[in-house]
Amino acid sequence: MNEFELIARYFTKPAKGAILGVGDDCALFSSKKTIAASTDMLVEGVHFFPGEDPFLLGKKSLSVNLSDMAAMGAEPRWALLALSLPAAEESWLEGYSKGFMMQAENYAVDLIGGDTTRGPLVICVQIMGKIDAGLALRRDAARIGDEIWVSGNLGDAALGLYHLQGEIRLDGADLESCLKALRDPVPRVELGLALSGISRCAIDISDGFCADLSHILERSEVSAIVDYSSLPVSKTMEKYVNEPVGEKAILSGGDDYELCFTASEEKYSEIIELGNQLGIRLSRVGRITEGSGLHVLDEKGREKGTGEKGYAHFR
């Protein structure tokens, strides 16, 4: 199978919402709205272990990009896929493209182009979507007095990773749910879109709660106080909340792909209602204040070390 057969077989779908999709030198698409664009790369050995299930990898490689759209409040529409592959292995390509295309269909995204080369396994997805620029959920838009919210639960993906790395030992339903959180994160696209008009500021939690909230604080030039005991955790995580490994997972574990957003106090009941409507747990975890830095407090009001500041490729 040569490169062109490979593209034709696994990565060519009619692009409904584009003027021209896969097959020419460029794809063509247009929008009356502002375009939000983002790209995320997954590298074997850095972002995932060798031998991961290609179907889940295909799905996750789009999900992490969808998560960036969610964090901006954008409606995902188009994607480009650049693949570097050690070999054109049919079973891998079959699984990968199934996972990717299924998730693309779930979120009405058209794969409109990409690039395919031989090399180490690297997956690079670019995503583009529509947005009203004035309503974007920007990192620099937190205001003093805003309340801080988090969707879903924190740290389960990290527990799954710690298990695979041999740091802890999970089993049964705990293991299953944490590995699912790690390998098959749910991008909060619906929530991001629904937050338009409620929130002006959000980020997706990909590198760890403290690290990602700190990006908001820096860009918005504010400080925050977070109540550790109000951070949302799963039944599995409840067993670890007061242990160092649990704290580490909650505060600085990566790969959650939940949204952290801020909103003024008056939006409280609207947000609770939205959570009920979407069936997504939304938890109020702290407040934006004057000053700088992130302060996580325990039940006695003592400051917790936020420890490792999340995942960083270069230090």
Binding-site ranges for Mg ion (CB under 5 A): 115
**Shortest approach of Mg ion to residue 86 CB, angstroms?**
18
- Of ligand ADP, Mg ion, none, which one does residue 25 interact with (CB within 5 to 8 Å by kind)? ligand ADP
- The 3 state secondary structure assigned to the chain is CCHHHHHHHHCCCCCCCCCECECECCCECCCCCEEEEEEEEEEECCCECCCCCHHHHHHHHHHHHHHHHHHHCCEEEEEEEEEEECCCCHHHHHHHHHHHHHHHHHCCCEEEEEEEEECCCEEEEEEEEEECHHHCCCHHHCCCCCEEEEECCCCHHHHHHHHHCCCCCCCHHHHHHHHHHHHCCCCCHHHHHHCECCECEEEEECCCHHHHHHHHHHHHCCEEEEEHHHCCCCHHHHCCCCCHHHHHHHHHCCCCCEEEEEECHHHHHHHHHHHHHHCCCEEEEEEEECCCEEEEECCCCCEECCCCCCCCCCC
Kindly state whether residue 203 participates in binding ligand ADP, applying the rule CB under 6 A. Answer: no
Residue 84 touching ligand ADP (CB under 6 A)? no
At closest approach, how far in Å is the CB of 21 from ligand ADP? 8
By CB under 6 A, residue 111 contacts ligand ADP: yes
CB of 165 to Mg ion, least distance (A): 36
Shortest Å distance, C-beta 27 to ligand ADP: 6
Residue of minimal CB distance from Mg ion? Answer: 115
> Cβ of residue 96: shortest distance to ligand ADP, in angstroms?
10
Residue 111 near residue 49 (C-beta atoms within 8 A): no
CB of 37 to ligand ADP, least distance (A): 16
Return the half-sphere exposure (C-beta side, CA atoms, 13 A cut-off) of residue 163: 21
Is the Cβ of residue 26 or residue 46 nearer to ligand ADP in the bound state?
26
113: partner contacted, choices ligand ADP, Mg ion, none (Cβ within 5-8 A by kind): ligand ADP
Of 83, 154, 178, 179, the one binding ligand ADP by CB under 6 A: 83
Applying CB under 6 A, the site for ligand ADP has a residue count of 13
Least gap, CB of 26 to Mg ion (angstroms): 11
Show the site string, 20-59: x = touches ligand ADP by CB under 6 A, - = not: --xxxx----------------------------------
Q: 105 or 115: whose CB is closer to Mg ion?
A: 115
> Which stretch in 18-26, 130-138, 168-176, 202-210 sits in contact with ligand ADP by CB under 6 A?
18-26
Q: Which does 22 bind (CB under 5 to 8 A by kind): ligand ADP, Mg ion, none?
A: ligand ADP
Q: How far apart are CA 161 and CA 163, in angstroms?
A: 5
Assess 120 for contact with ligand ADP (CB under 6 A).
no
Q: Of these partners, ligand ADP, Mg ion, none, which one is at the site of residue 79 (CB under 5 to 8 Å by kind)? A: none
Compute φ and ψ for 65, nearest 5 degrees: -75, -40
Would you tell me which residues interact with ligand ADP (CB under 6 A)? 7, 11, 22-25, 81, 83, 111, 113-116
